Chain A
Amino acid sequence: DTEVTQTPKHLVMGMTNKKSLKCEQHMGHRAMYWYKQKAKKPPELMFVYSYEKLSINESVPSRFSPECPNSSLLNLHLHALQPEDSALYLCASSQGAVNQPQHFGDGTRLSIL
């Protein structure tokens, strides 16, 4: 069991749908991350939130919209995705945004039809 919980575990959506991925941690961590991982590839950083403020956006297309409503929650809103966006989306958290181990959730497997 992981201490970072991601829902849903699997999501299938059409290119015109709007959906959201959710991530929750109750470890008191103040930094949270979204990663995208394609099959047989390493995770690639998408966004970093530090103290509920967006601090890194790795030039991610606007069809991905992150939101950090409070220090325990991180959402990723999806709209008008493309088939190439199909991937495992991983959330992570750490105590701070510098020099701290990151704790990962089990991810959401996203398939775009």
Chain B
Amino acid sequence: KQEVTQIPAALSVPEGENLVLNCSFTDSAIYNLQWFRQDPGKGLTSLLLIQSSQREQTSGRLNASLDKSSGRSTLYIAASQPGDSATYLCAVENYGGATNKLIFGTGTLLAVQP
């Protein structure tokens, strides 16, 4: 059974710092890995999707890497801003029978202090 873990569970940094969020998964037979952010009381916003054959994806100040063989992904946020404060979730897409399904990690609550 796929298990997805994120470290740290919570992180507080001053504005302007670069930071790294970690995600690990137990079953490397994934289709892709996705990073989402969730603001309080809101739905999820897709940030990056890395295909299983890819090593990294970049969008603006965000860079996500994937090492499928070791079951790890990192999300790098450059020059953090207070607006980056949110919960960040990684999710892996696994074969689910008739349809694939996303298995979410436990999340990292990020607070960027002005």
Contact = CB atoms under 8 A, between A and B. Distances in A.
Residue among A41, A43, A92 having the largest count of chain B Cβ atoms under 10 Å = A43
Interface in B12-59: 31-32, 34, 36, 41-46, 49, 51
Contact of B100 (A43, A97, A101, A105): A97
Given A56-B99, A104-B43, A42 B105 contact: yes
A86 interface: no
B84 interface: no
Given A107-B42, A109-B41, A50 B34 contact: no
B38 to A, nearest CB: 9
Given A99-B31, A99-B32, A99-B51, A48 B101 contact: yes
A81 interface: no
A50 B45 contact: no
Interface string A1-30: 010101000000000000000000000000
A90 B34 contact: no
B99 A48 contact: yes
B86 interface: no
Nearest to B39: A106
Interface range for A = 20 to 34
A102 interface: yes
B11 interface: no
Contacts of A6: 43
B29 to A, nearest CB: 13
A44 to B, nearest CB: 8
A98 B99 contact: yes
Q: Which 10 A-B pairs have the closest CB atoms?
A: A42-B104, A104-B43, A55-B98, A55-B99, A97-B99, A104-B44, A106-B43, A101-B46, A101-B49, A48-B99
Interface of B: 31-32, 34, 36, 41-46, 49, 51, 89, 91, 93, 96-102, 104-107
Interface of A: 2, 4, 6, 31, 41-45, 48, 50, 55-56, 88, 90, 92, 97-99, 101-107, 109
